[in-house]
Structure 1
Amino acid sequence: MDSLNMKPEEIEMESFRIIDVEAGDHGWPGEEWQIVRRAIHTSADFEYAQSMVLSDDAVEKAVAALMSGAGIVTDTNMALSGISKPRLAPLGCTVSCHVADPDIAMQAKSEGITRSITAMRKAVANSDNRIFVIGNAPTALFELLRLVENGAAKPALIIGLPVGFVGAEESKNALASGCHDIPFITNIGRKGGSNVAAAVVNALAILATQKK
């Protein structure tokens, strides 16, 4: 196949075909596989077929939240940029990230904590924010879980895919261990990233749009 002359949608379809073939008997149900396959597609890493963990109701609750116009908040502007706004537009969903807000920088400095922690506290104060997408900062995920534990937040879904060597794996393990029955999508290990987290949102948005 001449990839130089392929349209973007043809390239995507061919990529998914290759992933389906190479993944073999992966064991994921249909809608969950669409989420995992997007993670593989954006990273070219088949390890996600084994490392992804979804709570039993994650896809169902995520799609329902998106169809109701849930606000989405990310831990980085990179994740925000990777989420397809045209896919969310028919659903009426907005996406925000507070980590670069001037008040966040000032507050974090005065309290001696990270901007990621401060931004997460600001995000949960807005009840419209119901889907939390964390692809970079373990501190953001740990703080969100603390806020849930204290009753200060009750997300419709947590997508927790921080990447790195310090705290990333531990924060995802904490999420996967269960947190007040909050639906979640995560993975086991150090891998992850804003691009993968955004890809998961995009996959969910496609499912929600198809059902709306």
Structure 2
Amino acid sequence: MYIDPGADTPEGYTISKTSRALARQVVGDRTPEDRIRQRCAISVGDFVMADLVRIKGDSISAGLSALAKGAPIITDIHMVQMGIRKKEHSSEVLCALDFGGEISAERGITRSSAGLIALRDRLEGAIVVIGNAPSSLLSLCSMVREEGVRPALVIGMAVGFVNAAESKEVLRTLDIPSISTQGTRGGTPPAVAAMNEIITMYVERTRGE
């Protein structure tokens, strides 16, 4: 049975169901990973996005397990934070921009990078969702590689022409579950879409559907 926890009116549900049916036909619908690709394509209105999604490790299971534990979801910017569904799970959704102001001023680094550094102790076992800032993804990758920080899952979809593609390539070299996009494309919509699809799967599991 198809559900969309984010659709709360008959019209919204119909739109969501119709979009998903089309995405199933074009993207495929054999695996849970296909569902992530479907949702990312829908989020930007372009099926090319589905071909750019890279899923490493047992990312979906890692995300579901983290949600079951109530692990925090940490985002790079407020737009990503606002887009992530808050209902039907107990995970707190935090934004790096709300932390690390002194670190940013002292080191001259971006606020999103500084925020992740400030949240270092909360990154362990967390889900990190980066939909904008390559600098924050590079900082996170450095903490994983050099300090042994181990998020449960990283959704890394940094966007732009400066270090976006490179930061995601670094992410894919790490031995942690990740969902990312190839190249310069990415952004808040697919990052939020990937996270919300995992939340939808979590809702299905808790409802026994």
Same fold (TM over 0.5): yes
User: How many angstroms does 1:128 deviate by?
Assistant: 6.5
Q: What is the one-letter code of the residue matched to 1:74?
A: T
Number of aligned residues = 198
Q: Does the 8 Å contact 1:157/1:183 carry over to 2?
A: yes
Identity of aligned residues (%): 31
Residue 128 of structure 2: SS of its match in structure 1? strand
Whole-Å Cα distance in 2 between the matches of residues 128 and 67 of structure 1? 15
Q: Please tell me whether the aligned partners of residues 67 and 209 of structure 1 are also in contact (alpha carbons under 8 angstroms).
A: no
1:154 aligned partner = 150
Gaps of 5+ in 2: 1-9
User: Which residue in the other structure is 1:163 paired with?
Assistant: 159
Tell me if 1:19 matches 2:23: yes
- Cα distance, 1:126 vs. partner? 2.1
Aligned residue number for residue 189 of structure 1: 183
Counterpart in 1 of 2:67?
Answer: 66
Deviates more, 1:105-114 or 1:187-196: 105-114
Contact 2:104 2:111 (C-alpha < 8 Å) held by counterparts: yes
Structure 2 equivalent of residue 3 of structure 1: none
Q: Tell me the distance in 1 between the aligned counterparts of 2:22 and 2:96.
A: 37
8 Å contact from structure 1 (residues 52, 185) kept in 2? yes
Structure 2 SS opposite 1:85: coil
Contact 1:73–1:129 (CA under 8 A) maintained in structure 2: no
- In 1, the alpha carbon distance for the partners of 2:148 and 2:114 equals 14
TM-score normalised by the chain length of structure 1: 0.87
Please, what is the CA RMSD of the aligned residues?
1.8
TM-score scaled by structure 2? 0.88
- In the alignment, the residues of structure 2 paired with residue 200 and residue 27 of structure 1 have an alpha-carbon distance, to the nearest angstrom, of 16
2:111 is equivalent to residue 115 of structure 1 = yes
Question: Alignment partner of 1:7: what SS?
Answer: helix
Distance 2:176 2:29 in 1: 21
**C-alpha distance in 2, partners of 1:152/1:118?**
18
Match of 2:193 in 1: 199
What SS does the corresponding residue of 1:169 show, helix, strand or coil?
A: helix
Aligned to 1:55: 56
User: What is the aligned counterpart of 2:101 among 99, 105, 108?
Assistant: 105
Shift, 1:107, TM fit: 2.6
Q: 1:94 aligns with which of 87, 92, 95?
A: 92
Q: After the TM superposition, which parts of structure 1 deviate over 4 Å for at least 4 consecutive aligned residues?
A: none
Given the superposition, is the C-alpha separation of residues 145 and 18 from structure 1 closer, same or farther in structure 2, using an over 3 Å criterion? same
Secondary structure of residue in 1 paired with 2:57: coil
In structure 1, the residue corresponding to 2:97 is in which secondary structure?
coil
Gap change, CA 1:194 and 1:161, over 3 Å in 2: same
Q: Which amino acid in 2 is paired with 1:203?
A: E
Change (3 A) 1:78 1:152: same
Contact (CA 8 Å) 2:72, 2:122: kept in 1 or not?
no
8 Å contact kept, 2:57–2:176: no
Whether the 8 Å contact between 1:72 and 1:129 is mirrored in structure 2 is no
Distance in structure 2 (CA, Å) of the matches to 1:129 and 1:197: 19
Shift of 1:28: 6.3
